């Protein structure tokens, strides 16, 4: 146990963890921890006299189980209300399924073709298990399609910031040229009808960002198909003045290739800030596209989505300014 974690526990007899310690122990960002607590009531952190959040050992176990289940395709909204015992049971069921599939396929080498986006590009930088043969990793779709036709992989791994009609066309196109049975799709956002269609076709859906360990385990053992997200009802009393002109949306400063190049460089400041900033920028950019493509029932609804798109764009622009500073200070680009 680190000195910092020990210090964070001293406040209540060794069973109190700071939000930073919980983030390190569970793999959930501090931002996500606050969102999960406020929006889904996953745990209720205590407060120190100074107002700092502190978490119990039970809180850490529950959050760790939630993170593991989310990494295996469950949505946080589906499982946030489960008790600790129910989460343990659900995780045990998932673990048993993974063990069975790993034993069944323990001697098989899995040939993978990956259409590399921001997250999948990380596969280039990790040590792959012996059973995974990354036969193709390509960013250009035309070249990827040709390689898939030539190699006939066991698994096709795809990444789409937003699952839309074009994503469905590409999957259908790949199925027309390859006999591949398993399709794994990483995505940030999706409309319910596209998720329903892919789930019915047994496509394995994984929400980004996800850890490389979770992704590799899924490739080795087979995964859980994500359930379609529930569309929340639109509040007709929303402010009708919500509007944003297209020219107010700032252009992107960093494409996916730029973010990947930044992360390939060794940081002199020995922290994960470049990784976290890149995750934020990519996620916000994906939400911009998602908001732009959302169906609008009327002008009021369209104005709301333009507002959401513009708000995400401005937030993304602020994060890109921060990345600009980090790139200059830390010399992350040549």
pLDDT recorded at residue 101 = 59
pLDDT of res. 9: 42
Q: Report the percent of the chain where pLDDT is more than 70.
A: 77
Q: What is the edge-to-edge ordering of all strands in the sheet holding 17-18?
A: 17-18, 53-55, 46-47
Give the pLDDT band (50/70/90) at residue 204. confident
* CA 268 from centre of chain: 26
Q: Decide if pLDDT at 59 tops 90.
A: yes
pLDDT number for residue 61: 92
As a whole number of angstroms, the distance between CA 90 and CA 254 comes to 40
Sign (positive or negative) of CA dihedral 126, 132, 134, 139: negative
Interval 252-266 mean pLDDT:
73
Q: Mean pLDDT of all residues in the chain?
A: 77
CB 222 within 8 A of CB 101: yes
- Least Cα distance to 105 among 126, 123, 128, 132 occurs for 132
Spell 80-97 as b/e; 16+ CB within 10 A means b.
bebeeeebeebbeebeee
d(CA 155, CA 21): 37
Model-level pTM greater than 0.75? no
Q: What angle do CA 31, 115, 160 make, to 5 degrees?
A: 45
Q: Which of the residue ranges 19-28, 34-43, 65-74, 132-141 would you say has the lowest mean pLDDT?
A: 65-74
Neighbours of 41 (CB within 10 A): 10
pLDDT at 6 > cutoff 50 = no
Nearest to 46 by CA among 22, 74, 21, 17: 17
DSSP letter assigned to residue 231? P
pLDDT of residue 229: 41
Residue 278: both structure tokens together:
């890149």
Give the C-alpha distances (Å, rounded to integers) separating 317 from 17, 277, 308: 33, 11, 14
224 has a pLDDT exceeding 50: no
Torsion sign, CA atoms 235, 236, 239, 242 = positive
Does the pLDDT at position 228 exceed 50? Answer: no
Taking the C-alpha atoms of residue 140 and residue 267, their distance in angstroms, rounded to an integer, is 28
Region 159-181: mean pLDDT is: 89
| Highest-confidence segment of 70-79, 109-118, 225-234, 266-275 | 109-118
Burial class (CB in 10 A: 0-12, 13-18, 19+), 55: buried
Maximum C-alpha span of the chain: 64
Residue whose C-alpha is closest to residue 19's, from 34, 36, 2: 34
DSSP string, 7-58: HHHGGGTT--EEHHHHHHHH---HHHHHHIIIII-S---EE-TT--EEE-HH
């Amino acid at each position: 146990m680190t000195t910092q974690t020990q210090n964070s526990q001293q406040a209540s007899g060794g069973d109190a963890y700071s939000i930073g310690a919980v983030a390190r122990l569970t793999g959930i960002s501090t931002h996500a921890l606050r969102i999960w607590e406020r929006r889904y009531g996953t745990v209720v952190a205590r407060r120190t006299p100074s107002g700092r959040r502190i978490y119990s050992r039970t809180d850490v176990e529950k959050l760790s189980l939630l993170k593991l289940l989310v990494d295996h395709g469950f949505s946080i909204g589906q499982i946030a209300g489960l008790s600790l015992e129910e989460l343990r049971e659900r995780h045990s069921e998932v673990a048993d399924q993974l063990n069975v599939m790993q034993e069944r396929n323990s001697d098989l080498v899995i040939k993978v073709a990956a259409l590399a986006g921001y997250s999948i590009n990380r596969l280039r930088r990790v040590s792959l298990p012996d059973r995974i043969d990354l036969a193709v990793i390509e960013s250009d779709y035309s070249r990827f399609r040709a390689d898939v036709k030539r190699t006939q992989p066991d698994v096709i791994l795809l990444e789409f910031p937003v699952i839309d009609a074009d994503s469905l066309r590409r999957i259908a196109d790949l199925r027309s040229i390859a006999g591949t049975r398993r399709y794994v799709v990483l995505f940030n956002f999706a409309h319910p009808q596209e998720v329903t269609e892919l789930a019915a076709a047994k496509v394995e859906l994984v929400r980004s960002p996800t850890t490389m360990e979770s992704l590799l385990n899924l490739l080795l053992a087979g995964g859980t198909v994500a359930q379609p997200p529930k569309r929340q009802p639109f509040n007709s009393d929303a402010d009708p003045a919500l509007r944003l002109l297209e020219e107010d949306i700032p252009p992107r400063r960093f494409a996916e290739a730029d973010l990947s190049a930044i992360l390939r460089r060794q940081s002199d400041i020995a922290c994960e800030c470049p990784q976290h900033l890149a995750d934020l920028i990519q996620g916000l950019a994906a939400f911009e596209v998602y908001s732009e493509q959302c169906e609008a029932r009327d002008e009021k609804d369209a104005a709301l989505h333009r507002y959401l798109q513009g708000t995400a764009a401005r937030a993304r622009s602020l994060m890109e300014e921060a990345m600009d500073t980090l790139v200059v200070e830390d010399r992350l680009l040549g």
